[in-house]
């Protein structure tokens, strides 16, 4: 005698359906991204080699570069070095305090060798700033002569650098925390 066992059809749990939906969306997005990359690559191959860029990021307009205030005096493009990040430097003396400092400076965009030197000397540039400010007390930082401080740090930076000079220094943050 043969017995037939009837079972109810299996249904996927609710979480499995959600996972399938997420998977499908991810696959569609991946295919769209791949399609965009292929289309962009084909477009780049079809463009003439001497054609102008479609857009540029971080480049000044010709009007701004010629004004003298946004570029070098000879009209060259500039980059701004912000690679030192935000420094948190404990100050000397009592009461204990910390100065939070961000330094940046412009340099010629076309000077690749100087840019490489700056990138390799980030640790030394940070150390110079840390050594300078860690020797000051909270009161000295509070009454800081910004122009004199910038010129002293600039002199120390330029003594260390071999492939270029820093002409101007900016304190984008200078905060004293108690």
- Residue 66 has a pLDDT of 40
Please give the domain boundaries of the chain with CATH numbers for all domains.
76-177 (3.30.479.30)
pLDDT tens, residue by residue, 56-115:
665 444 444 443 444 455 667 889 999 999 999 999 888 889 999 999 999 999 999 999
Check residues 63 and 117 and name the one with the higher pLDDT. 117
In this prediction, residue 58 carries a pLDDT of 58
* Residue 93 near residue 137, CB atoms below 8 Å: yes
Mean pLDDT of the chain: 83
Q: To the nearest whole percent, how much of the chain has pLDDT over 90?
A: 48
pLDDT at residue 116 in the model: 94
Q: Is 55 a residue whose pLDDT tops 80?
A: no
CA separation, residue 44 to residues 37, 48, 59, 72 (Å): 10, 8, 21, 33
């Amino acid at each position: 005698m043969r017995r037939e066992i009837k079972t109810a059809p299996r249904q996927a749990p609710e979480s499995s359906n959600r996972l399938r939906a997420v998977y499908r969306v991810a696959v569609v997005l991946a295919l769209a991204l791949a399609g965009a990359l292929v289309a962009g690559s084909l477009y780049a191959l079809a463009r003439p080699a001497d054609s102008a860029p479609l857009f540029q990021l971080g480049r000044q307009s010709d009007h701004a570069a010629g004004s003298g205030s946004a570029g070098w005096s000879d009209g060259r493009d500039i980059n701004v070095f912000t690679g030192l990040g935000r420094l948190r430097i404990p100050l000397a003396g009592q009461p204990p305090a910390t100065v939070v400092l961000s330094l940046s400076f412009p340099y010629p965009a076309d000077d690749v060798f100087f840019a490489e030197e700056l990138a390799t000397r980030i640790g030394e540039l940070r150390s110079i700033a840390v050594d300078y400010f860690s020797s000051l007390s909270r009161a000295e930082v509070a009454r800081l002569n910004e122009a004199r401080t910038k010129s002293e740090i600039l002199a120390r930076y330029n003594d260390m650098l071999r492939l270029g000079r820093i002409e101007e220094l900016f304190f984008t943050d200078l905060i004293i925390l108690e």
